[in-house]
Amino acid sequence: MSEINTPEREATQKSAAPDAKHDAQSTAKAAGTNEPNTRKRKTLLALLGVAVVVSSAAYGAYYMTYARYHESTDDAYVSGNLVQLTPQLTGTVVAVNADDTQIVKEGDPVVTLDNADARIALGNAEATLGQTVRQVSSLYVNNDFYAANVAQKQSDLARAQDDLRRRQAVAGTGAVSAEDIAHARDAATAAQAALDAARQQAEANRALTDRTTIEQHPNVQAAASKVRDAYLAYARNTLPAPVTGYVAKRSVQVGQRVSPGTPLMAIVPLDGVWVDANFKEIQLRNMRLGQPVTLTADVYGSKVKYHGRVIGFSAGTGSAFATLPAQNATGNWIKIVQRLPARIQLDQKELEAHPLRVGLSMDVDVDTRDDTGPQLGAAVTTSYRTDVFAQYGAQADAEIEKIIAQNIVPLHPASAGNAASSRPLARRDAGETNGTARHAG
């Protein structure tokens, strides 16, 4: 059956014909537009690929020629010595001569304590030393006295023995009675006993002076030690700066009662600071002692560069020295990358031109190209020392010598010879006794 064309169908067919024609034209136009876009997209992708290849090649060249020979970190800080100023005895603070941010020179009196009690004790010790020197000097003078006494007793013994010998020679003639002979014999015996007593006294006095001088006598040395102790206690009421540096953390106040070991302030010598750089353990593979380092400080920016070298590595990581180290036994162990501090010494001239302060942040870059150096340094002794306290001992010795010189009694030449002699008196007296006996015989 053939379709019947109704007016509605004819109208529909007439309206659909222009739409189909328009769709065909749109499709042709879109196809012509997509073709340039596709070519552009391919060009961009190709350029991107070339850029990636070039970038990879550039980074590869950069890594092979530079990056693999450098290890860097921003976990680095300036460190230095914090010299604590502490008293060595108990006292009351009467003067504080420096404050925070101020510089003090080595040996400058920074804090002063009340020294009234120490001054009195020093005066007593000095007086005791002077008295001791005079007493010891009298011992040397007595050597002459006892030597003269021995000579006198020897003369008395010789006279008594002569009297006895003459009486015994005429005893047979009856000119001398037996009683006179007995009295003469008793007198000779008494003279011998007196001579022995005098010799013992001389020997006892010589035992106090033999093989020594007045200055080196034990009694004088004991008194001198007390003077030295009192002088040190007196001098230590003034606290000098052990090093040259800047004052920090001052806590001492005038009128404060302090005791030994109380921290009064810290002195920071900024001319000897260094940098502690914390590197990851995987960065330490090629790091060695002596490798050059380039550093920048946040306080000056990247325009100011410091140069230094690696001088040491810490013996352990920070967590190993923590109060509660990470370990399975405590249940706080987590596998994380550890960091190990490396000490970097800075160029002194650059440090003087651009001073650093303790605690400042640093960026560190280590050149590991030369890896022939050791990982651990040889046994080296580092010595920090100050001589500001040594002068106290020298001043005390000078004071002691002055007191001894003022109180020593000038010795007679014979006494000086006896003081220097080391021959025992008993040995010399034995020879004299034998000579006397031979003469008496």
Alpha helices in 216-366 (DSSP H): 218-235, 348-353
Per-residue pLDDT, 76: 95
Q: What is the pLDDT of residues 45-104, one digit of tens each?
A: 888 888 888 888 887 887 787 778 899 999 999 999 999 999 999 999 999 999 999 999
Rounded CA-CA distance 132/216 in Å is 12
Closest CA to 85 of 254, 246, 274, 275: 246
Separation CA 224–CA 126 (nearest Å): 8
CB count within 10 Å of CB 307 equals 13
The residue behind tokens 């190993």 is 320
| pLDDT of 430 above 50 | no
Query: What tokens does 78 get?
Result: 């300036």
Which residue blocks in 390-424 are alpha helix, DSSP H?
390-407, 413-420
Q: What is the pLDDT of residue 139?
A: 86
How many CB atoms neighbour CB 75 within 10 A?
15
* Tokens standing for residue 374: 């050791």
pLDDT in tens, 339-371: 999 999 999 999 999 999 999 999 999 999 988
This prediction's pTM? 0.69
Rg (CA), the chain: 51
Q: Which domains does the chain have, with CATH numbers?
A: 83-114+237-267 (2.40.50.100), 116-235+393-440 (no CATH), 273-367 (2.40.30.170)
Q: Which residue has the tokens 């009297």?
A: 163
By the 8 A CB rule, do 259 and 92 touch?
A: no
CA distances 425 to 136, 411, 422, Å, are 19, 19, 9
Measured CA to CA, the distance from residue 10 to residue 346 in angstroms comes to: 99
Helices marked H in 170-302 — which ranges? 178-207, 218-235
How far is the CA of 104 from the CAs of 5, 72, 241, in angstroms? Answer: 118, 36, 7
Q: Which residue has the higher pLDDT, 219 or 21?
A: 219
Q: Is the pLDDT of residue 380 over 70?
A: no
The pLDDT value given to residue 23: 58
CA separation for the pair 301, 224 (Å, rounded): 61
Average pLDDT over residues 230-248: 95
Instruction: Give the H/E segment covering residue 362.
Output: strand 361-367
From CA 91, how far away is CA 234, in angstroms rounded? Answer: 11
Tokens of 241: 């700066």
- Residues 6+ positions from 185 with CB-CB distance below 8 Å: 164
Token duo for residue 212: 């020594």
Q: What does the block give as tokens for 438?
A: 């031979």
CB 159 within 8 A of CB 188: no
Which pairs from 116-120 meet CB under 8 Å and 24+ separation? 118/230, 118/233, 118/234, 118/237, 119/234
